[in-house]
Structure 1
Amino acid sequence: MMKIEVLFPEFCNLYGDMSNIEYLHKCIPEAEIIYTSIDEEPAFLTQNVNLIYLGPLTERKQEIVINKLKPYKEKIEELINNKTPFLFTGNAVEVLGKYIENEDGTNIEGLGIFEVYAKRNMLQRFNCLYLGKYEDIEILGFKSQFTMLYGDNSKNYFADTEMGIGINNTTKLEGIKENNFFGTYVIGPLLILNPLFTEKLLKIMGIEEPKIAFREDVMAAYEERLRKYKELTKK
């Protein structure tokens, strides 16, 4: 049976991004959704999981999640190296970086799996529409964040940006993609707004001929939103 593990849904659920999982479940209703709370041992330690999901969370909760996942760093690295699918949305990817820098210069040590680090600016929320390209798929959505990532992601970025910014406002390279790990600041929710990417993700998860839910409707919405985004890039 296909299994999707949702890490710490009690607080990794900002911006309505839990709808990513609700939509995936409609695409594959036979899948088992494992909701792992912060006081439970992750299922990925003992079970074969087809997707591990972590959604956006508050800055205060990031430290709790980092401390929870630190004992499992080697296992997470092993899963990434073995091409287990991951999807981390919003600021979730920051917990796997080297550190998160506060405004006062203090650092919160991350898991150090990726060679990036985050900087917080809690007095300035950054918001933008986003349009970029992952392989041959156009990715669209939104960004809303107090933090930005820094470091070299030129060899493992997720999308090349056409409108908006990459991991920070000096680069067009958005997110982290390492094997089948996807980490991106793009929210929306990502999977509802990007049906072609959702089909791609389902294939990566092991479904040979994925049939996404409400395909005609979500494709119509995607194409209309894409048309409007393209118009904005011309202004």
Structure 2
Amino acid sequence: MTTTDPHSTVLQLNDVTRTYPSGKSTLTALDRVTIGLRRGSWTAIMGPSGSGKSTLLNSAAGLDAPDSGRILLNGEDIASLSDDVLTRMRRTEIGFIFQQFNLVAALSAAQNVALPLRLAGRRDANRAAAEALNSVGLGKHTGHKPRELSGGQQQRVAIARALATRPSILFADEPTGALDSASAATVLDLLRALVDEQAQTILMVTHDPSAAARADQVAFLRDGRLVTTLNGADANQIAATLAELETLAGTGVQG
């Protein structure tokens, strides 16, 4: 369980519970989870399959409403917001990075990054897209289409798209899962630099101990509960903790 100073906290989950019906029974995907993310920090979420990782990410991003508890983004309880306000918040305060790059094949890198800005009515979409691509080291590739870029470069375009609105927090779901080891290392270096140099806050779900080791803290879920947190751990320590939890894990919870 992690608590933080509210004046420096971007995201705070307090006693968050989320259940789902399953036939005649109920599955508890999150069980009274409390965790806080300080501004300019990187938190990795790990756990066995079905531990609640995806539910935590979706709930924290306002995509899945909890049964109970509070989720505060910059001090505002997102569960109390209307759908319209929450949608606008996701467009401006939250950035998403996925395992699959989700780029539009027919558009250039710059057009892909500018697209959500244009949909949000930003008049400076082209300038913001160029700045975002430059920040991820792709300033010379703005006119390239996805097929002309490597997997690592495509993921950096996706990161630039997420950064273009200068969000308070980035949610990353297995961001290196589709990459080779060299490309993955480049992406992880970029994420680390965003935290260290731009005070970006990141919440990342991953199954890879090497990726998790780049984070400031690693929070481990088992059967929907936050059971332990490691700070500054290396990949071997993280892998050992994950292996222990996998041995103890129950079944039936969707993660």
Note whether the superposition's TM-score is higher than 0.5: no
Structure 1 length-normalised TM? 0.31
Relative CO higher for 1 or 2, CA cutoff 8 Å, sep ≥ 6? 2
Rg comparison, structure with higher value = 2
* Higher helix fraction (1 or 2): 2
Structure 2 length-normalised TM? 0.30
